[in-house]
Structure 1
Amino acid sequence: MTAAERLKAILDLMQEIETAARPADAVVSAWFRARRQIGDRDRGTISEELYALMRHHARLGWWLEKHGREATPRNRLIAWLVINGRMALAQLESLFSGKPAAPNGLSEPERTLIGKLQGSTIEHPSMPEEVRTECPAWALKPLRQRFGDQFGREMAALLKPASLDLRVNPLKSDRAAMLRSLRDLGLEAEPCPMAPFGIRVAKRPSLSDLPMLKSGAVEIQDEGSQLVALLVAARPGERVVDFCAGAGGKTLAMAAEMANRGHIMACDISDGRLKRAAERFRQAGFHNIQTRLLTSESDKWVKRHKASYDRVLVDAPCSGSGTWRRNPDARWRASEADGLDGLVALQARILASAARLVKPGGRLVYATCSMLPQENEQQVAAFLAASPAFEAVPLADTELHQIQSAHPDYLSLTPARHDTDGFFAAVLQRKAEPVAG
């Protein structure tokens, strides 16, 4: 592809993402699937530039507002090329030529904008902190509360591209063998520092170049997500529930800990997600996983299986603030109007319902990929106050006692401190019933 053709592709994707109800990664995947003729190198270049633009959403919008221009995808792209790409008017006119497969030619207002932006840098002293740190207004107060004087450092870490983390499937290989295979492909691969089955790949390769992904020998999973699954401490022969299984990444990690023995029930309210997860389970070679479609968090199935599981994981739906470096569009999809309070209330209902499944002496793990206190520590505190049958297990008394968590009692991972997505997980144990005597 020519440079102009790549710009046209970026612009088309920006416009589609802005109007789609789906996350950006789903839009990008579908867009490329429909254009299989685009080579891996061009796909990589287009994706890299697109995600860089999304990580500069607020700052580009600030510059456009400053110069009286609407923050449309096209104006954002032009501003990005001038400010970050240091492109002059003549270069942009050659790219925005209006020729077939190139963006439409520049208008006079766009030429004026280009002139005003020349020599600008992406940040400006007049930018409010929420703009400079790309923090949406609805999350500013709780994140400042969460991080205090580390707020700026953590937000800066969320603006960096996420690494590609893999989890080795022990049914099919081991980490040493996979490291050799990845290095034989010319990739810079190293063991993840905390997760025992994790591998970190320095530069994101084309996933089609990784045969171990197709064979199920590895799965894509952030190191933080791997640690959450390990915190469940599922054992061979046990009965386990992944209550909000989604795509099944943590289900697979728990099944590996169980050495394919025992039983895992992967539950979700989305039939589509469960079907995709079931295919992953089959490809990975696990036969101890069953899927269950729930109508809601209070599905009758929960009541019928009360106190019948050794381990229950609640990976609750959340704001996703911990994944912003991986999904930069997510921070602008949510808003205060969407109702953080409503989301917190849903999490509380899910947690209370899933807790019914836990046997006396069994373990309940509540987890989110959020860094907001309302969804994490405060949620756990409210649950414990309302559920005297449960008690918190300090992280120091769990299998992950060696992790230097950002919280003294719970697993709390942040991009700046741990180089993972932001994750929270609390271990809650149902007290053993008193022995009759």
Structure 2
Amino acid sequence: MTPAARSQAAIDILDQVVDAARGGGAAADTLVARYFASRRYAGAKDRRAVRDLVYAAIRRAGELPENGRAALVGLAREDDALAATFDGSAHGPASLDPAEPAAAAGVMPSWLSAALIASDVPVSAQQALVARAPLDIRVNRLRTDVASIRAEIGGEAVAGLPDALRLPNGTNVEPLAGRVEVQDAGSQIVSLAARAEPGQNIIDLCAGGGGKTLALAAAMDNRGELIASDVDRARLSRLAPRAEKAGVTIARPLLLDAGREAAALAPFAGAADTVLVDAPCSGTGTWRRNPEARWRLTPQRLERFAQQQRHVLELAAPLVRPGGALVYIVCSLLDAEGAAQVDAFLATSPGWRAEPLDLPAGRPRGSGLRLDPAHDGTDGFFVARLIRLC
């Protein structure tokens, strides 16, 4: 592909990303993959160059652009080499018109910036939310050890995480499937709040594809009972093959029927040493990986997430045994989803107390800890550990 053709490809993909953001369609990484699946002629360098253009344009535009061309034109206004690819050639974009619309540079929609400021995430820290994320992995101690993986592919240790390595972006970890899992250091850190041990009875209530489930199983040394439940059949179905590759035998998937979760969970009432709630949320802490997600969020959607979070807390509480723990996690920096949710739960649940956390990163926030990219170099999370009184 010529440089001009790469630019046009980026515009085509950005058009799809903008449409998906308006209509709740697929994520940008999925759209990029679909685009090239039908264009086998594009080589690895072309794919990488186009992908880089797409994500550079997404990260630069805080507000949802008018269309894909406006997104890339905004980038081209700041890059003469890119602007030169708008040459009107057969496979390239039409020449730039000084009067045509261009996406304005910004970090995020103004209402979101204000919400983060209200949650003590200042403007100076907000740019880090859309910076490119590092590649972190968790070494699966059931299959191997950090020294072996490091000898094979290198990587840097992550302070406080004996099973973690940080690799150069672009490192191919597919041949290591089962021995390692791609998992942000922040996600590994908040998982430590579960204090999982061999022989325990743990429920991962919002397990999704099982990333934290597998981490819990490794910490349990494959001994005990581990229930991985979710209402999303497609996401939960990914757990079984991942668990098989990882050598995890204690994880038991439990598909829940939305609206009828309590009935399916009733047999586990009062039995869990720990219930981990990785609640559905806005994902403001993971924009480094999905920067277009900030274009999808609205105040109304944020309130729906808050309602879901209250719901899963209500489901989780009865499952914890007296003296056991409920670990609440959201990959968000907004207090409405983190500290305020936990405060509201504690205010209406006299049989519970928050337990202080001592984790390798994060700062106190409300009754828990908050990690953010600017301060901790990880994805953003809020985590709290709540104890059911005996």
TM-score, normalised to structure 2, is 0.92
Letter in 2 for 1:111: D
Higher relative contact order (CA 8 A, sep 6+): 2
Selected match of 1:418 from 376, 380, 383: 376
Equivalence for 2:297: 334
When Rg is computed on C-alpha atoms for both structures, the one with the higher figure is: 1
Structure 1 stretch 138-147 or stretch 27-36: which is displaced more?
27-36
Matched residue, 1:8: 8
The residue type paired with residue 431 of structure 1 is: L
Alignment counterpart, residue 255 of structure 2, candidates 286, 289, 293: 293
Tell me how far 1:37 sits from its aligned partner: 4.8
SS at match of 1:112: coil
TM-superposed CA distance for 1:263, in Å, is 1.6
In 2, distance between residues paired with 1:297 and 1:59? Answer: 35
Mapping of residues 378-417 of structure 1, within 5 Å? 378-396=340-358, 400=359, 402-407=360-365, 409-417=367-375
Q: Secondary structure at the match of 1:395?
A: coil
Structure 1 residues 20-29 or 237-246, which shifts more?
Answer: 20-29
Tell me the secondary structure at the aligned position of residue 197 of structure 1: strand
Q: Distance in 2 between matches of 1:280 and 1:33?
A: 24
Q: 2:158 corresponds to which residue? A: 192
Residue 330 of structure 2, aligned match among 368, 373, 396: 368
Residue equivalent to 1:143: 116
Alignment counterpart, residue 45 of structure 1, candidates 43, 49, 55: 49
Deviation at 1:10, TM superposition (A): 1.2
TM-score, structure 1 length as denominator? Answer: 0.82
Counterpart of 1:156, as a letter, is Q
Which one of the candidate residues 125, 129, 136 is aligned to 1:154? 125
- Cα deviation, 1:130-166, whole Å, max 9, x if unaligned, reads x64x22233233211222xx61221121131011111
Q: Which residue of 2 aligns with 1:75?
A: 70
Structure in which a larger fraction of residues adopt helix: 1
CA distance in 2, matches of 1:29, 1:92: 23
CA distance in 2: counterparts of 1:347 and 1:93, whole angstroms = 46
Structure 1 residue 166 corresponds to structure 2 residue 137: yes
**1:245-284 alignment runs, 5 A limit:** 245-284=207-246
Root-mean-square deviation over aligned CA pairs? 2.3
- Residues 1:336 and 1:423: Cα distance change in structure 2 (over 3 Å): same
Counterpart residue number, 1:429? 387
CA distance in 1, matches of 2:367, 2:258: 30
Is the 8 Å Cα contact of residues 136 and 164 (structure 2) preserved in structure 1?
yes
Partner of 1:55: 59
Corresponding residue number in structure 2 for 1:113 = 99
CA contact (8 A) 2:7 2:92 kept: yes
Task: Provide the C-alpha distance between the structure 2 equivalents of 1:203 and 1:220, rounded to a whole number of angstroms.
Answer: 12
1:80-99 CA-to-partner distances (Å, cap 9, x unmatched) read: 123234555xx3453x31x2
> SS in structure 1 opposite 2:132?
coil
* Letter of the structure 2 residue corresponding to residue 324 of structure 1: W
**What's the CA shift for 1:235?**
1.1
**Higher share of residues assigned strand:** 2
1:358/1:190 Cα in 2 relative to 1: closer, same or farther (>3 Å)? same
Shift of 1:303: 2.1
1:297/1:353 contact within 8 Å kept: no
Amino acid at match of 1:314: V
The Cα shift of 1:60 comes to 9.1
- Residue 111 of structure 1: SS of its match in structure 2? coil
Q: Could you tell me how far 1:298 is from its partner in structure 2?
A: 4.8
Deviations along 1:390-433, one digit per CA (max 9) or x if unpaired, are 1110114xxx3x5452437522100011000100110001112x
Q: 3-state DSSP class of the match of 1:255?
A: helix
Q: Cα offset for 1:177?
A: 1.4
Q: Tell me whether 294-303 or 423-432 shows the greater mean CA deviation.
A: 294-303
Match of 2:273 in 1: 310
Q: Is the 8 A contact 1:298 1:350 kept in 2?
A: no
Consecutive unaligned residues of structure 1, counting only runs of 5 or more, are 62-70, 124-130, 184-188, 433-437
Task: Supply the distance in 1 between the matched residues of 2:134 and 2:231 (Cα, whole angstroms).
Answer: 30
Return 5+ residue gaps in structure 2 as ranges: none
SS at match of 1:51: helix
Q: CA–CA distance in 2 between the matches of 1:210 and 1:303? A: 39
Give distance in 1, aligned partners of 2:27 and 2:187: 19
Amino acid at match of 2:389: K
